[in-house]
């Protein structure tokens, strides 16, 4: 019969606790990565609040394909901002389409739905039929 000393029992318990903490840390890290992956549509808004004021004012709208559009007599600064944001969105959409083996148009539409949810009240949206609606 083998007897363990109290110190060896404590060492075993301490090692077990360390292993459990390590597993918890790995699970938390994985959860953070999954959360970041699910939140990636926000990346397409680059940064998401950048267009809020012009969208609420009606000088920028959002299209069904996930791209922004300058509306009416938008200033040259607004037009340049829309072009910058769209260039960044196109990169994100292309990367996501490549990683998901999906058509870039489908990715853009998914992002458009997310943008629509987070856009401020007053934002105009252009449907694929050419119809403008206001949030």
Average pLDDT across the chain, whole number:
79
What are the structural domain ranges in the chain?
1-38, 44-134
* Rounded-to-integer distance, Cα 79 and Cα 72, Å: 11
The DSSP bridge partners found for residue 133 are: 125
Dist. CA 72–CA 51, nearest whole Å? 16
Q: Token digits for 67?
A: 């791209």
* Residue 40: per-residue pLDDT: 46
Distance between CA atoms of 50 and 121, rounded to whole angstroms?
15
CA distance 127 to 135: 13
What's the angle, vertex CA 132, arms to CA 127 and CA 135, rounded to 5?
95
For residue 89, how many other CB atoms are within 10 A of its CB?
Answer: 22
What is the value of pTM for the model shown?
0.65
* Band of pLDDT at residue 43, cut at 50, 70 and 90: very low
Tens digit of each residue's pLDDT (9 = 90 or more) over 21-41:
555 544 444 333 334 443 444
Mean of the pLDDT values across residues 91-101?
A: 97
pLDDT of residue 49: 81
């Amino acid at each position: 019969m083998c007897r363990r000393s109290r110190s060896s029992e404590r060492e075993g318990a301490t090692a077990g606790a360390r292993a459990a903490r390590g597993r918890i840390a790995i699970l938390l890290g994985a959860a953070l990565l999954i959360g970041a992956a699910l939140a990636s549509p926000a990346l397409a808004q680059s940064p998401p609040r950048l267009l809020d004021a012009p969208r609420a004012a009606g000088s920028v709208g959002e299209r069904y394909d996930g791209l922004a559009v300058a509306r009416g007599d938008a200033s040259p600064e607004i037009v340049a901002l829309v072009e910058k944001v769209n260039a960044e969105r196109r990169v994100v959409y292309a990367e996501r389409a490549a990683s998901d083996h999906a058509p870039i148009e489908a990715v853009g539409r998914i992002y458009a739905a997310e943008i629509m949810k987070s856009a401020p009240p007053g934002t105009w949206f252009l449907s694929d039929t050419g119809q403008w609606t206001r949030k």
